[in-house]
A and B are shown apart, each in its own frame.
Chain A
């Protein structure tokens, strides 16, 4: 088992109080698994990803444990976490377009970074060039400045930098959001390639774009307002979702062949709750068509079938 997370809870400290961005998340990620994390803006996807690699203010660790390849990650201790960063766990950040120092040649920055982590740049250089080829970049980019690259090229360059030390877990945060559709597909395929070539063991792919997950991910985890809603294989989530939120989310996706003008896209009525003072119990219950009294308690995230996890009193009970 590559990644195992137990009761991870992360708040944001603000003047108005704690924003409960992630509450009691427990799940695991198998070796070789590409897990998509889906949900709307503010549901805690990025908080989950950021807290695993670089937990810093205003993020606040509340409780929970994280194990990677059997070792516990000291995510709440910035200093102790350092040996794990890059070598065991790495990230392609949401802001990949601006992730490189604008005034340093890319090769120079990679060299500085590797040296500072105790690696020998000269020894790794041939591998860097291999990886560049893998993402269809010429080795010349090492002699260029970031502003000389297009957005897609920068994105791929950052992918190469992030994965140079063959981390066990790669967090990919909205890697395709800033790209056009054709680049999106290429980047998604490259991520799968990285996994297939065993450059990274497993990937957590954070996105609000479910269609990209359909092409890439083995499993999808759906989050809502800081809580886990459902996790299952991609097939199951798309074709047979169980959580009312997942059902509504999937049904809001456009379908090929259906004219929008004839058949307006369905949305989910209502808005997500504010996480400064979220409702008790299931946070979806105000918008949920099937909510009942029991939903005032937090539903447990339980396995209802093999590999299918669900946090819903109604749907879960039928199978319990």
Chain B
């Protein structure tokens, strides 16, 4: 057990190190320089340009050799310092992310969990039900194949432009100030529905199809046939099949989380929803090294934590993995 977790943690630490290093490298490989953009925005001339340039280069530590920047970056991370945003100067990156994070959690968590739950239930229902199967299967295949962005645009067009039920763009109405009032919550909710739906619908199709196939496989398994031969009721056999079929779906969630983050990015861009995905786009536009690093860092941490939770959940729900663990420890 101890060795199992030791090995897992080592793998996670290594993944974290590599992912964060790549995240540090990517913005620096982009052509151009964030300070150039700031200066040109400020509209400075003459000697002021060189002065401001060297000031900012020094302030962001960009005048140091690249290896030293990398080292400083790691030191800063362990001090909880993600630097200062260039695009929203002088707000610290951590503050920018803190403001955006609630939107992401509110969008991703319900869409992942609800689509998983509903997809599994619906897929299980569809297995061995001719009518439901004939309708669900093609619809499910279409839904999973739909790109998040395209569905987002379609939903925005239908609900915001054609029938105008929901507002388009932003996390809340631009005329409002964030406050703890019902009006504001209502506005938040209205702006949340479409991004949520576009994520939910695509994922739902995938889970439903997967579950349908898994259930059929389990119902054809030998233990199901044995129970049938001994006259066990359909309900018991279905229950067993469902409980076993859910296991690969749990793994599926772990694999999906990384994909969902990018799906959320496209969705947030389409709806101008102020989550981390939207921030990433802004950071790229403005060559904001520090904001981009910070956003990626949170994505990496999020994916790793989610995977770790799924790993532990798997140990709890599948006895066979526990057997493998004790075998490894001996």
Taking beta carbons and an 8 Å cutoff, which residues of A are in contact with B?
53-54, 56, 81-87, 90-91, 93, 95, 98-105, 112-113, 116-117, 145, 147-148, 158, 161-162
CA distance A53 to B225 in the complex (A): 11
Chain B residues with CB under 8 A of A145: 319-320, 323
> 5 shortest A-B CB distances, which residue pairs?
A85-B231, A98-B222, A99-B226, A95-B222, A54-B229
Q: Is B69 an interface residue (CB 8 A)?
A: no
Are A91 and B236 within 8 A (Cβ)?
Answer: no
Are A99 and B223 within 8 A (Cβ)?
Answer: yes
CA distance A81 to B231 in the complex (A): 8
Are A103 and B230 within 8 A (Cβ)?
Answer: no
Chain B residues with CB under 8 A of A158: 226
Are B323 and A102 within 8 A (Cβ)?
Answer: no
CA distance A104 to B244 in the complex (A): 9
Are B230 and A100 within 8 A (Cβ)?
Answer: no
CA distance A148 to B323 in the complex (A): 8
CA distance A101 to B233 in the complex (A): 15
Are B236 and A83 within 8 A (Cβ)?
Answer: no
Are B236 and A54 within 8 A (Cβ)?
Answer: no
Q: Closest residue of chain A to B231, judged by CB?
A: A85
Determine which of B222, B229, B232, B318 lies in contact with A103 in the assembled complex, contact meaning CB atoms within 8 Å.
Answer: B318
- Number of B interface residues at 8 Å Cβ cutoff, please give it: 23
Q: Is B228 an interface residue (CB 8 A)?
A: yes
Chain A residues with CB under 8 A of B318: 103
Chain A residues with CB under 8 A of B247: 103
Q: Is B305 an interface residue (CB 8 A)?
A: no
CB distance from A249 to the nearest CB of B (A): 29
CB distance from A202 to the nearest CB of B (A): 18
Tell me which of B223, B236, B318 has the highest count of chain A C-beta atoms within 10 A of its own C-beta: B223
CA distance A162 to B179 in the complex (A): 67
Are A83 and B223 within 8 A (Cβ)?
Answer: no
With A83-B231, A145-B323 known as contacts, the answer to whether A101 contacts B225 (CB < 8 A) is no
Are B230 and A85 within 8 A (Cβ)?
Answer: yes
Kindly count the residue-residue contacts between A and B in the assembled complex, taking CB atoms under 8 Å apart.
71
With A95-B222, A99-B226, A101-B223 known as contacts, the answer to whether A147 contacts B323 (CB < 8 A) is yes
Q: Closest residue of chain B to A91, judged by CB?
A: B229
CA distance A112 to B244 in the complex (A): 16
Q: Closest residue of chain B to A95, judged by CB?
A: B222
Q: Is B240 an interface residue (CB 8 A)?
A: yes
Q: Closest residue of chain A to B320, judged by CB?
A: A147
With A93-B222, A93-B225, A145-B323 known as contacts, the answer to whether A102 contacts B244 (CB < 8 A) is yes
Are A113 and B223 within 8 A (Cβ)?
Answer: no
Chain B residues with CB under 8 A of A95: 222, 225-226
CA distance A56 to B230 in the complex (A): 14
Within 8 A of A (CB), among B213-255: 221-223, 225-233, 235-236, 240, 243-244, 247
Chain B residues with CB under 8 A of A103: 243-244, 247, 317-320
CA distance A172 to B97 in the complex (A): 66
CB distance from B226 to the nearest CB of A (A): 4
Task: Give 15 pairs: A residue, B residue, CB < 8 Å, sorted on A.
Answer: A85-B231, A91-B230, A93-B222, A98-B222, A99-B223, A100-B223, A102-B244, A102-B320, A103-B247, A105-B319, A112-B236, A113-B230, A116-B236, A145-B320, A145-B323
